Structure 1
Amino acid sequence: MSIYVGNLSYEVTEDDLNSVFAEYGTVKRVNLPNDRETGRPRGFAFVEMQTEDQENAAIEALDGAEWMGRDLKVNKAKPREDNRGGGGGGRPGGNRGGGYGNSSRGNDRRGDY
């Protein structure tokens, strides 16, 4: 399991996070994602601690705490959702082709229901 740390200053480093969370136990890993275009931190991170008790202590102490001028949002990380899915076009069934406005089918919409 890991901890989600949100509302971070864009100036924060992995070493900064490691130092803060080390007060609550052994830090196994810090992941500070960077924006692909700017290379700057994205304002959130994930921290893995040695034990669940250490994670809980860090969450309890740091959630809502002010750090580097920001009020932190610290909680258990949720499993990552796969957001790479294609299409859908906003209609149920995810049918991007055919359907409304497709000149090859004219006004016959029976296949869309």
Structure 2
Amino acid sequence: MGFWYLMAAAALATLGAGFHGILGRRLYLGEIRKGGLPESTVTLSTVSWDMFTVLLLVSALTLVNVAYNPSNALMVHPVVMMNLMGAALFIGLGFAGHKMLIRLPGAYLMGATGGLALLGL
């Protein structure tokens, strides 16, 4: 097991969760609330935003667990897949007309987290 690769991936996921869950949430929800959308849409959007933050935190905790307990290595595979597929989704949607997604850090954060975790295996 590549302890430092797993720890670096965990650090990225933790940093991402902090940025996404605090600063990003404040910016995003401020814009959503100004949009005049129905309350149910704002609520679902808030849940979706926060679930992504949870995904990042669970990824980080899983990677730290496996770094210290290599016998749990199978736990890393879903984390790798979630992050690499999430990065692919950002990039794919970015090239499919949602160009702003290419400028956001999500694809790069998830790609780096997934890549480092894969190297840690």
More RCO (CA 8 Å, sep 6+):
2
TM-score, with structure 2 as normaliser:
0.28
TM-score, with structure 1 as normaliser:
0.29
Indicate the structure with greater strand content. Answer: 1
Indicate the structure with greater helix content. Answer: 2
